[in-house]
Amino acid sequence: MAAVVAKPRSAFPLTHRITPRRGLLEMDFAELWHYRELVYFMVWRDVKVRYKQTVIGAAWAILQPFLTMVVFSLFFGRLAKMPSNGLPYPIFYYAALLPWTYFATALQTAANTLVDHQHVITKVFFPRLLLPLASVVAGLVDFSISFVFLLCMMAYYHIWPGPAILWLPVFLLLAIFTALTAGLWLSGLNALYRDVRYIMPFLVQFWLFASPVAYPSSVVPGRWRWLYGLNPMAGVIEGFRWSLTGHGDPPGKMVLVSAVVVLAALVGGLAYFQTIEGTVADFV
Amino acid sequence: MTDTAIQTYKLGKRYRGGEIRGRVYLRDSMREWFRAPGKNLRRRAAREEFWALRDVDLRVGHGEVLGVIGRNGAGKTTLLKILSRITRPTSGVAEILGRVGSLLEVGTGFHPELTGRENTYLSGAILGMSKKETSARFDEIVAFAEIERFIDMPVKHYSSGMYVRLAFAVAAHLEPDILLVDEVLAVGDMAFQRKCLGKMGDVSRTGRTVLFVSHNMGAISQLCRRCLLLQEGTVADDGPPDRVVGEYLKACAEGQGLDSKNWDRSGSGRARITSIEVLDSEDRRCAAISMSRELRLRIGGEAENAQLEFSLSVQFASATAVPVLYLYDQFRNFRPSDNKQFLIELRIPDLLLMPGLYYVHVWIGRAGMEDYDYVKNAVSFEVVQGDEIPITLPMTQKLGLVYRPHEAKQLL
């Protein structure tokens, strides 16, 4: 057995002061950084475990938005004759479902993450913030798979992205932040009030119809469209369609409003998360 | 004087009634608000509160091995949870020098679908080990857990013994500067337990600081140089383990069963129970008794006259007030001696109750005619798991209240 000479193994944390409660928004970034590997492991575990014991495995990542796309194309497209900015319905819907599916999945896993990890939370310390963070990052793996599929679909329809695609990372980042923000609020509330678990499906469904997934945001009168940006996913989804296909108008004002809303809510979410983080082990 | 590893100042932790019960439903909070929005704050304050830990001043030197003992609910686990930063204190400050590792429960973060190898890395990361550190100790961990052949199998196919061994091995190889342990040594078979104790000894010999919470007084005395006694959230005693453990057991045994004034009793009072003692097979008073050892109950009292005949019954109730055991013989009558006093001893050769706390109720009277005295919850004793039973996993009252030796025959 390795009898190692006693010495502090890691430079961090050499001393730690444990006090009743931290101030609002007093993030310990050094500590978060120290635990970065844990985020990696959590993401890796989520990805490994997600499609275990399924027959088609990761194909589900494509099939979920694909089937929804088929349904939307049939009912909203063929039957209801929704305008689609001149895009074929499959591309019009899949380009929106790509960020939406990511968002909806990330949001739901993040909202349940504190409750799902209660056995770990009550036994070990680590920055609790890692949990919603890992849920949001883990969703990106599925996102990448179905993104590649979208590119194949676009090639099939002979639609090629223009220079607008350079904006795509910005919209993706906005989607990530939106999911994280909602995840921070909901996971904390869920730890306190299990009602959240039952509200979630309705919330996601309501949010889906409040976002321009099944319809283009051009059905909203131009004057009010910036207000529509109060729903950050509206800016994200329109942004995805625009930057991927070049069709439609750049959703400039809407995205700006979305970004401001998300940043404000994110700061609020971090502050809220911090107030419950220290004692969540007692009531989760 | 050694360097300080842990220092606390007036550390306290308060729980509200609602938080202990666990789930709070939105409905309840909202109802509270709607009924009396203004009163809400006041009512919150009035809600049942209790301090699991209060004003704990503690200094642990670097390299010290400190045992922590106390009854259930004395605040032992709360103290470890605060020091390991699982939860924040309500008041006070604690300062920790060095990396903290905790063995509050093994297997934290294990995922059944992942293999032993994958879980080792995952669990290591959750416990605060970097990938590099886990890799460096990987072979050692696997060898310690004795599961070389199964390391690439999903842990859901492991036997519970293998699972626990791997989980403990990961945690034990964390090699932190300060190790917090909460009775996890009761895992695995006897050979593995010895190995675990050995590992703990190694850890302490390499100059690390260990805080060891246990009900196992033997292990405390064996491993620790210093022992802390917690009582109702405060430090009641602090010193060499032999003294503190001795005092603790004595304090548990004394005081109870003797102070008959405050007993919860009913009955006509023609005869009164004045003392109830729990003794072991060598007539020593004890607060804790091993599962399968003999238990003796000595009941003393006084009657209004020396001719009064009575029978005696005894009930043991579990910590959750479920009556578990009933001792009675309707046709066995007792009579006080000439000085109107009586002292009766009941012997149960093998107790066989599951580990946990039990309360004793004693009744004297004439069956179906008159209750002379009926004393409830006068005495409690704790049953601890002994090594006479062919089970080494920790047993609790949740599994059952009574253990029976039995025969198991394989028929097919």
Q: Which residue of B has its CA nearest to A277?
A: B87
Q: Which chain A residue shows the shortest CA-CA distance from B12?
A: A20
Last residue of a domain, one of B225, B251, B277: B251
Report CB contact under 8 Å: B90, A4. Answer: no
Chain B positions in Cβ-Cβ contact with residue A35 (cut-off 8 Å): 128
pLDDT of residue A4 exceeding 70, the answer is: no
> Which residue, among A274, A276, A282, would best test binding to B if mutated, counting the most B CBs under 10 Å from its CB?
A282
By Cβ distance, the residue of A53, A120, A282 closest to B15 is A282
Residue B58 lies in a domain: yes
Are A49 and B111 an interchain contact pair (Cβ–Cβ within 8 Å)?
A: yes
Residues B117 and B149 in one domain: yes
Confidence of residue A8 (pLDDT cuts 50, 70, 90): very low
Where does chain A have alpha helices with state H?
29-34, 36-50, 59-72, 89-116, 118-121, 130-156, 168-192, 195-210, 225-228, 232-245, 252-277, 280-283
Closest Cα in chain B, distance from residue A232 (Å): 27
Nearest to B372 by CA among B248, B295, B266: B266
Give B195's contacts in chain A (Cβ within 8 Å).
none
Domain boundary (B216, B251, B286) is at B251
Pair (B13, B67) in one structural domain? yes
Residue A124's nearest CA partner among B165, B90, B87, B93 is: B87
A11 near B CB under 8 A: no
For residue A25, the model assigns a pLDDT of: 67
* Stated length of chain B: 412
Q: What is the per-residue pLDDT for B74? A: 84
Q: Please tell me whether residues B110 and B69 are part of one structural domain.
A: yes
Cβ distance A20 to B89 less than 8 Å, yes or no, reads: yes
A158 has a chain B CB within 8 A of its CB: no
The reported pLDDT for the residue numbered A144 is 94
Q: Is A60 on the interface with B (CB under 8 A)?
A: no
Residues B373 and B231 in one domain: no
| pLDDT greater than 50 at residue A5 | no
The pLDDT of residue A173 is above 90 = yes
A81 and chain B in contact, CB less than 8 A: no
From chain B, the residues in CB contact with A279 under 8 A are 87-88
* Residue A36 at interface with chain B, using a CB cutoff of 8 Å: no
Cα(B90)–Cα(B94) distance, rounded to whole angstroms?
A: 12
Put simply, the answer to whether B206 touches A6 (Cβ < 8 Å) is yes
For residues B238 and B295, state if they share a domain: no
Cβ–Cβ contact A55 with B under 8 A:
no
User: A21: which chain B residues are within 8 Å (Cβ-Cβ)?
Assistant: 88
Q: Name which of A19, A35, A281 is nearest B86 (Cβ-Cβ).
A: A281
Instruction: Give the pLDDT mean for A165-180.
Output: 94
Nearest Cα residue in chain A from B201? A3
Q: Is B407 part of a structural domain of the chain?
A: no
Is the pLDDT at A6 greater than 70? The verdict is no
Q: Does one domain contain both B247 and B264?
A: no
Q: B296 and B337 in contact (C-beta within 8 Å)?
A: no
| CB-CB neighbors (< 8 A) of B96 in chain A | 15-18
Residue range A116-136: mean pLDDT, rounded: 91
Domain assignment present for residue B330? The answer is: yes
Question: How many angstroms away from the CA of B306 is the closest CA of chain A?
Answer: 57
8 Å CB contact of A48 and B118 = yes
User: A5, B91: Cβ pair inside 8 Å?
Assistant: no
Residue B393, domain member (yes or no): no
Nearest-CA distance A40 → chain B (Å): 9
Do B207 and B66 sit in the same domain of this protein? yes
Q: What is the pTM of this model?
A: 0.73
Shared domain for B155 and B194, answered yes or no, is yes
- Confirm if A1 and B199 have CB atoms less than 8 A apart: yes
Residue A195 has pLDDT above 60, yes or no: yes
- pLDDT recorded at residue B23: 42
The mean predicted confidence, pLDDT, of chain A is 87
Domain assignment present for residue B310? The answer is yes
Give the pLDDT confidence score for residue B40 in this predicted structure: 47
Question: Does B182 share its domain with B309?
Answer: no
At residue A265 the predicted structure's pLDDT band, cuts being 50, 70 and 90, is very high
Q: What 3-state DSSP class applies to A16?
A: strand
Q: Contacts of residue A57 in chain B, CB cutoff 8 Å?
A: none
Q: Does A281 touch chain B (CB under 8 A)?
A: yes
Query: How many Å lie between the alpha carbon of A221 and the closest alpha carbon of chain B?
Result: 38
Flag if A19 and B88 touch (Cβ within 8 Å). yes
pLDDT score recorded for residue A171: 94
Q: Which of A18, A19, A120 lies at the smallest CB-CB distance from B126? A: A120
Check CB contact under 8 Å for A123 and B108. yes
Closest CA in chain A for residue B22: A283
Q: Which of B49, B50, B83, B88 to mutate to test the interface with A (most CBs of A within 10 A)?
A: B88
Q: For chain B, list residues with pLDDT below 70.
A: 1-2, 17-48, 72, 105-107, 183-191, 193, 215-218, 249-262, 319-321, 387, 392
**End-of-domain residue from the set B227, B251, B275:** B251
Partners of B89 on chain A (C-beta within 8 Å) are 18-20
Question: How many domains does the structure of chain B reveal?
Answer: 2
Find the CATH number of the domain harbouring B214: 3.40.50.300
**A4, A14, A34, A38: which to substitute to probe chain B, counting the most B Cβ within 10 Å?**
A38
Give B-chain residues touching A4 at CB under 8 angstroms: 175, 206
Residues of chain B neighbouring A45 (CB-CB closer than 8 A): 111, 114, 118, 122
B108 lies in a domain?
yes
B197 and B173 within one domain:
yes
B338 in the same domain as B273: yes
Closest by Cβ to B87, choosing from A45, A193, A282: A282
Model pLDDT, residue A23: 67
Furthest C-alpha separation in chain A: 75
Is residue B93 within 8 A of residue B237, CB to CB? The reply is no
- Report which residue type is found at B143: A
Nearest to A52 among B22, B113, B133 (CB): B113
A 173-192 residues with CB below 8 A of B?
Answer: 192
In whole angstroms, give the CA distance from residue A163 to residue B32. Answer: 57
**Which pLDDT score, from 0 to 100, does residue B188 have?**
56
Instruction: Quickly state the pLDDT bin for A240 (edges 50, 70, 90).
Output: very high
**Same domain? B13 vs B119:** yes
Return the CATH number at B304: 2.70.50.60
pLDDT at site A10:
44
Expressed as residue numbers, the domain containing B247 is 4-251
> What is the SS3 string spanning chain B?
CCCEEEEEEEEEEEEEHHHHHCCECHHHHHHHHHHCCCCHHHHHHHCCEEEEEEEEEEEEECCCEEEEECCCCCCHHHHHHHHCCCCCCCEEEEEEECCEEEECCCCCCCCCCCEHHHHHHHHHHHCCCCHHHHHHHHHHHHHHHCCHHHCCCEHHHCCHHHHHHHHHHHHHCCCCCEEEEECCCCCCCHHHHHHHHHHHHHHHHCCCEEEEECCCHHHHHHHCCEEEEEECCEEEEEECHHHHHHHHHHHHHCCCCCCHHHCEEECCCCEEEEEEEEECCCCCECCEEECCCCEEEEEEEEECCCCCCEEEEEEEEECCCCEEEEEECCCCCECCCCCCEEEEEEEECCCCECCEEEEEEEEEEECCCEEEEEEEEEEEEEEECCCCCCCCCCCCCCCCCECCCCCCCCCC
**3 state DSSP class of A168:** helix
Q: Nearest by CB to A281, which of B87, B95, B127?
A: B87
User: Which of A21, A45, A120 is facing B108, going by the closest CB pair?
Assistant: A120
Determine whether the interchain pair A1/B94 forms a contact, defined as Cβ–Cβ distance below 8 Å.
Answer: no
